[in-house]
Amino acid sequence: MLVVYLLLSIALIILMVNYLRLHPFLALFMVAVFFGFAAGMDYNLILETVNDGFGGTLGKIGLVIIFGVIIGAFLENTGGAYALAEAVIKIVGKKRVSAAMGILGYFVSIPVYADSGFILLSPLNKSLSKKAGISLAGSAVALALGLTVTHNLVPPTPGPIAAAGILDADLGLVLALAIPISIVALVAALVFATKFAAKTYIEPNPDISQEHIDEKMKTAPSAFKASLPIVVPIILIMINSRMKAIDAQDIAGWQSFLQFLGEPVIALVIGMFLAFSLPKKLKKELISTEGWVGKALKESANILLITGAGGVFGKMLQNSEIANVMGDALSDLNLSFFLPFLIASAIKLAQGSSTVALITTASIMLPMMASLGMVTEMDKALLVVSIGAGSMVVSHANDSFFWVMTQMSGMNVAQGYKLQSLGTLVIGLTSIIAVLIISLFVN
């Protein structure tokens, strides 16, 4: 019945937002509470879940969203984003903007969380799409799927590392498999984005005309200077990721300080101050309540509310133990490496977090490995990658990244399911097919 309630909840969200025109925040919140009651959860647990889901989600990503939106406002209003877009277009060409964003997302998400990467690159993506005269849908989906591929498959992102640790898999072997498989998945993502998603037209920066862009370009900062609020935080976060892989006892004081600077919130604060250097002269009006900062904070409020409500829904599903129910139901099947893929997919679908899906599935598979004949180092590595493939399927309303991506790209819920959810299904299936083909030759 928990699965039935989940499907009913998804249907209710689509009905409320698309047909009743209810605000997504209210729809998500009410459906989350409905699911809690329907699942028979204790009243106190429902209240606790609402608080933990909203606060926990925004505690992790709320400030990142706020500072990211402020950076975007300065890049847009100074013309910096357009200067950067023009420089990139000269290199990749107008016809390859979606491919460029997908490849950029692929590399950025190895050290940077997908949510943070999308927020950082969204202003550039909108500007590139505007300059190239293409739909934002194709480039946004390419960026989101590029970020998703490496976030779920390639260490040092936390999920794959945790799964490899639980299953005692050789990390070098995991990388040797994950990198080529992730490249195959990226190709599938780019084909999906350019051939399917791009057919849905979404106007990038619909309130901004070409004349407005041309006017901004007259006083815009250089492309190099405009890139600093994006590039510097990414580099700092990459350094932070590297420091976390080093034993704490071996880290010197200055390295610890670098690790602090690389925490996403601090890195974005640094990016924000770099963005403040983009205007010819930083007037106090620009950072006032009525200025660029004030308007950016108003814009971020909507994203924060919807993302927080998505966190409530995901946490409610997690606390209902639906993931365990779906995992246990599938664990009796013997389907080789397709089994962990199915379990991870079910858990991802049920509670929204790819990292939780990776860790939970690895824990479920650990005691089953011997009976399934998955005992060699190659088997363990394939197992980790197959779980990563499943943890992509499917990003929908209970996934905070779904709401970050759709809200920052101007998509409604139906378009989100059509493009983001279907796209994650495509890259997940592509990845597991690649795993199964490789397993035929190495076992």
Structure confidence by residue, pLDDT tens digits, 339-353: 889 888 888 887 787
Highest mean pLDDT, choosing among 332-336, 360-364, 379-383 = 379-383
Q: What is the percentage of the chain residues whose pLDDT exceeds 70?
A: 90
Q: What is the rounded distance in angstroms from the CA atom of residue 440 to the CA atom of residue 267?
A: 44
- Which residues are CB-contacts of 419 (< 8 A; sequence separation ≥ 6)? 137, 141, 196, 197, 200, 411
pLDDT band per the 50, 70, 90 thresholds, residue 386: very high
Residue 126, CA distances (Å) to 130, 197, 306, 385 in order: 6, 15, 21, 32
Cβ contact 395:421 at 8 Å: yes
**How long a stretch of residues is the chain?**
443
pLDDT of residue 249 exceeding 70: no
Q: CA angle 74-79-83, nearest 5°?
A: 120
- Which residues are CB-contacts of 139 (< 8 A; sequence separation ≥ 6)? 97, 98, 101, 125, 128, 129, 193, 198, 204
- Cα–Cα nearest to 169, from 443, 382, 359: 382
| Cβ atoms within 10 Å, residue 301 | 13
Q: What is the rounded distance in angstroms from the CA atom of residue 106 to the CA atom of residue 88?
A: 17
Cβ contact 333:339 at 8 Å: yes
* Lowest model confidence (mean pLDDT) among 33-47, 122-136, 299-313, 324-338: 324-338
Q: Residue 406 has what pLDDT?
A: 92
Pick the more confident residue, 280 or 189: 189
Q: What is the rounded distance in angstroms from the CA atom of residue 153 to the CA atom of residue 84?
A: 30
Residue 429, CA distances (Å) to 55, 114, 401 in order: 33, 20, 19
Task: Calculate mean pLDDT across residues 367-388.
Answer: 86
Q: What is the rounded distance in angstroms from the CA atom of residue 144 to the CA atom of residue 187?
A: 13
* Lowest model confidence (mean pLDDT) among 76-85, 207-216, 396-405: 207-216
pLDDT band per the 50, 70, 90 thresholds, residue 6: confident
Cβ contact 109:142 at 8 Å: no
pLDDT of residue 208 exceeding 70: no
Cβ contact 213:131 at 8 Å: yes
Q: Residue 201 has what pLDDT?
A: 93
Q: Residue 193 has what pLDDT?
A: 95
| 3-class DSSP string for 273-334 | HHHCCCCCCCCHHHHCCCCHHHHHHHHHHHHHHHHHHHHHHHHHHHHCCHHHHHHHHHHCCC
- Where does 118-237 show beta strands of DSSP type E? none
Q: Residue 330 has what pLDDT?
A: 61
Q: What is the rounded distance in angstroms from the CA atom of residue 233 to the CA atom of residue 255?
A: 16
Q: What is the rounded distance in angstroms from the CA atom of residue 276 to the CA atom of residue 183?
A: 37
Sign for the CA dihedral angle at 226, 229, 234, 239 comes to positive
Task: Calculate mean pLDDT across residues 83-92.
Answer: 75
pLDDT of residue 111 exceeding 60: no
Cβ contact 277:225 at 8 Å: yes
pLDDT band per the 50, 70, 90 thresholds, residue 246: low
Mean pLDDT across the chain: 83
Q: Residue 308 has what pLDDT?
A: 83
Q: Which two tokens stand for residue 179?
A: 């990198």
Q: Residue 144 has what pLDDT?
A: 95
* Buried b or exposed e, range 206-225, using 16+ CB within 10 angstroms: eebeeeebeebeeebbebeb
